[in-house]
Amino acid sequence: MHIAILMTNTDESEFSRTRPGDGEKFSTLIAEHREDWVCSVFSVKDYEFPNDIGEFDGFIITGSPASVHGEDPWIERLFELIRDIEVAKIPMFGACFGHQAIALALGGKVSRNPGGWVHGLAQVDTVGKYPFLSDTPETFGTYASHIEQVSQMPAGAEIIAAGPGCKIGGYVLDRHVFTTQYHPEMTDGFITDLVEEVADYVGKDVTETARESLKGSADRTFLGEQITCFFEWAVAD
């Protein structure tokens, strides 16, 4: 399969520049499960968009410190692209910012989390059954770093995951949309470094809670299986 990764991360700090970008992180995660798939990265936050969506078997929209309520022109252009992909029924996966952008572009709502930051390792509950997986654990670990979340899904979407203080932790829409509020692409080392990097920004209490949570680790294998199995299921007859 040929997957387009729409990279939305606006962080240009030294911390970000000296570590793999989100496009590389997702490409690596895909390759761990489907080594023959091809990933093409588009830095949409720099207004780099694919010319023809029909060239791709699926799309991944990454996370970002930007807000989906921002007024930067690339955000509105991304919403337009999401709606085009939706009309074409091409499989689309969104993580964190991507999860929120898909919801907002398709008529849902995104709001500030009343409980504040969700940061570090989150234990997420499966709600119902993932339609593209034969077996799903009741709870799984995944990394998180967000203060906004989807508060209303697009019409027709169904919740499949719920996390700490986050009722809509993931959803599916028909056979062609799957999202998560979390960060399946993050490695153990990256989230450990990130927690320290943003400690002053998120505050002492949030940081201490995140550090404590990182005594556990994400279920990376299961998270990668979610994404690759979704794309295969979505294109199956």
Residues carrying an active site annotation: 96, 183, 185
Q: Are strands 177-180 and 139-146 parallel, antiparallel or unpaired?
A: unpaired
The answer to whether 90 touches 174, Cβ cutoff 8 Å, is no
The answer to whether 58 touches 92, Cβ cutoff 8 Å, is yes
Q: How far apart are CA 211 and CA 14, in angstroms?
A: 22
